[in-house]
């Protein structure tokens, strides 16, 4: 009878299925121990993907290396990724889900500083250790710092000071700037100006420009800069907004009249799309792995680049890729040194601080503020023989030599508490 046959087959089918699932689970359990899991919250859709995709590739490459070498404390390291849609509330929601349902051991991630600060506040309340990564506000570990946060990439203070240090070697005293009108833009300009004034007290600012974040038409700001009488100007713009600014400024002759100093135009995300519109002669920061001088300074760099390109199917590494890669290794190192995933023990390791060697140089995890101090690079935009804009005349300054001291950080924290 067909119906009986049907029932029988169903029973057999289910039994086979159950056996298969049980069997494979048993095999899996036998083969690998429970992984150490990091809940990683970042913006994996929309406009930030230009930074977060290479960053994630860096993380995954490091995880492969770490796990092939036996993992951490004999357990595999695993990242669980969540999309924050660039919104602090989404990020905190994801944090709760990761901690209470996924039972991750630690939290990591951020590209937007407002997301980073929101996750940091949540981590402090919940006493759950959080590794801020790609976002860069100095407030994370300084003004708003606390034991439950660590920051695995450089903060604005370090790369802006590296740029200001180089700017101070030029004879300019009359300055102007253009920076996006939000927390990060103000932070960049203030850090730049503060350090430039320390190094060169005679500088004065003649014109400030505060376009809104994401403004697409800068022509009026460009003409305002042109008539400001300044000899040089600083730009805190970044990404697509700075590309638009540079494209619009070039036919106005802005870069012939004022020397251009930019925190981010040296990144390939901006230089490559700009192509022949790139601002030749601009002084900026960036990860110039192709620079011969940098490769001599760091003999293992080129080998790492080759491995990364094989991993990412031919894509050249960006700064974000090094940050993702370093983040996975820094978290692994902190757990290894603590000998456990116990938060108090890992925080103890972070409080002591440690130093790690990466293919691009030494990264110090400073104890007093849990802040990473990596090497900083500045360079000048030039065109290479293939006609591609690149960073040349690269100079390295280590973060530890320019960053605010632990004493200063203590004062910043006290001032923030009084507020």
Partner 1 sequence: MAFLQQLFPWITNGPLILVQVMSGLSVGMFLFLVSAGMSLIFGVTRIVNLAHGAFYMVAAYLMSSLVSLFPGHPLWFWVALLVSSLAVAALGGLIEVTLLRRIYRREHLLQLVLTFGLILIIGTLVLMVWGPENRTVPRPTALAGSLDIFGQPFPTYYLLVLILGPLIALALGLVFYRTRWGMLVRAATVDRDMLGALGVDVSRLFTQVFILGSWLAGLGGALAAPVVAVALGMDAEVLINAFVVVVIGGLGSFAGSLISALLVGQLQSFGILIFPAISIVLLFALMAVVLIVRPWGLLGRPEE
74 CB neighbour count, 10 Å cutoff: 7
Give min distance, CB of 42 to partner 1, in A.
13
Q: Which is nearer to partner 1, 145 or 185 (CB)?
A: 185
Q: Which is nearer to partner 1, 141 or 228 (CB)?
A: 228
Give min distance, CB of 269 to partner 1, in A.
6
Give min distance, CB of 270 to partner 1, in A.
7
Q: Which is nearer to partner 1, 206 or 302 (CB)?
A: 206
Q: Which is nearer to partner 1, 181 or 351 (CB)?
A: 181
Tell me how many degrees the CA angle 57-112-61 measures, rounded to the nearest 5. Answer: 10
Written as six digits, the tokens of 74 are 């004999």
Buried b (16+ CB within 10 A) or exposed e, 124-159: beeebbbbbbbbbbbbbbbbbbbbbbbbbbbbbbbb
Give min distance, CB of 266 to partner 1, in A.
14
Give min distance, CB of 48 to partner 1, in A.
8
Q: Which is nearer to partner 1, 50 or 297 (CB)?
A: 50
The residue assigned the tokens 């199917």 is 313
Q: Which is nearer to partner 1, 247 or 337 (CB)?
A: 247
Specify which residues 389 forms β-bridges with: 383
Give min distance, CB of 56 to partner 1, in A.
11
Give min distance, CB of 219 to partner 1, in A.
4
Q: Which is nearer to partner 1, 259 or 413 (CB)?
A: 259
SS3 per-residue string spanning the chain: CHHHHHHHHHHHHHHHHHHHHHHHHHHHHHHCCCCEEEEEEECCCHHHHHHHHHHHHHHHHHHHHHHHCCCECCECEEEEEEECCCCHHHHHHHHHHHHHHCCCCEEECCCCHHHHHHHHHHHHHHCCCEEECCCCCHHHCCCCCCCCEEECCCCHHHHHHHHHHHHCCCCCCEEEEECCCCHHHHHHHHHHHHHHHHHCCCCEEEEEECCCCCCCCCHHHHHHHHCCCCCEEEECCCHHHHHHHHHHHHHHCHHHHCEEEECCCCCHHHHHHHHHHCCCCCEEECCCCCCHHHHHHCCCHHHHHHHHHHHCCCCCCCHHHHHHHHHHHHHHHHHHHHCCCCHHHHHHHHHHCEEEEECCEEEEEECCCCEEECEEEEEEEEECCCCCEEEEEEEEEEHHHHCCCHHHHHHHHHHHHHC
Give min distance, CB of 213 to partner 1, in A.
9
Give min distance, CB of 231 to partner 1, in A.
17
Per CB under 8 A, residues contacting partner 1 are 45-47, 49-50, 53, 181, 207-212, 214-217, 219-224, 226-227, 239-241, 243-244, 247-248, 251-253, 269-270, 272-277
Give min distance, CB of 276 to partner 1, in A.
8
Q: Which is nearer to partner 1, 36 or 237 (CB)?
A: 237
Give min distance, CB of 339 to partner 1, in A.
39
Q: Which is nearer to partner 1, 52 or 152 (CB)?
A: 52
Q: Which is nearer to partner 1, 182 or 354 (CB)?
A: 182
Going by C-beta distance under 8 Å and a sequence separation of 6 or more, which residues neighbour residue 336? Answer: 72, 73
Q: Which is nearer to partner 1, 179 or 397 (CB)?
A: 179
């Amino acid at each position: 009878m067909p119906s009986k046959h049907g029932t029988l087959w169903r029973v057999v089918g289910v039994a086979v299925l159950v056996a298969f699932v049980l069997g494979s689970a048993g095999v899996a359990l036998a083969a690998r121990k429970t992984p150490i899991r990091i809940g990683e919250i970042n913006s994996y859709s929309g406009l930030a993907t230009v930074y977060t995709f290479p960053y994630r590739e860096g993380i995954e490459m490091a995880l492969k290396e770490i796990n092939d070498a036996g993992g951490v404390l004999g357990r595999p390291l695993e990242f669980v990724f969540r999309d924050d849609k660039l919104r602090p509330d989404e990020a905190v929601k994801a944090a709760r889900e990761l901690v209470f349902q996924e039972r991750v051991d630690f939290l990591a991630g951020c590209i937007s500083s407002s997301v980073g600060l929101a996750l940091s506040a949540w981590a402090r309340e919940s006493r759950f250790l959080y590794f801020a990564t790609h976002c860069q506000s100095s407030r994370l570990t300084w003004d708003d710092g606390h034991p439950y946060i660590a920051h695995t990439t450089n903060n604005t203070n370090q790369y802006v000071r590296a740029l200001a240090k180089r700017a101070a070697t030029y004879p300019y005293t009359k300055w102007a700037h253009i920076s996006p009108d939000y927390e990060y833009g103000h932070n960049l300009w203030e850090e730049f100006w503060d350090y430039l004034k320390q190094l060169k007290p005679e500088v004065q600012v003649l014109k400030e420009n505060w376009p809104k974040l994401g403004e697409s038409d800068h022509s009026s700001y460009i003409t305002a800069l042109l008539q400001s009488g300044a000899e040089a100007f600083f730009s805190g713009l970044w990404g697509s907004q700075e590309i638009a600014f540079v494209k619009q400024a070039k036919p106005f002759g802005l870069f012939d009249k004022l020397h251009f100093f930019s925190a981010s135009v040296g990144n390939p995300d901006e230089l490559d799309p700009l192509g022949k519109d790139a601002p030749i002669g601009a002084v900026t920061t960036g990860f110039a792995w192709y620079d011969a001088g940098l490769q001599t300074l760091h003999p293992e760099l080129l080998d790492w680049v080759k491995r990364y390109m094989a991993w990412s199917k031919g894509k050249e590494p960006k700064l974000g890729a090094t940050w993702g890669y370093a983040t996975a290794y820094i978290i692994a190192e902190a757990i290894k040194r603590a000998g456990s995933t116990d938060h108090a023990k890992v925080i103890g390791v972070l409080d002591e601080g440690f130093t790690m060697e990466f293919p691009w140089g030494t990264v110090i995890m400073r104890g007093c503020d849990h802040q990473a101090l990596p090497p900083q690079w500045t360079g000048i935009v030039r065109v290479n023989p293939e006609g591609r804009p690149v960073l040349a005349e690269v100079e390295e300054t280590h973060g530890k030599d320019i960053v605010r001291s632990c004493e200063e950080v203590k004062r910043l924290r006290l001032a923030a508490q009084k507020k």
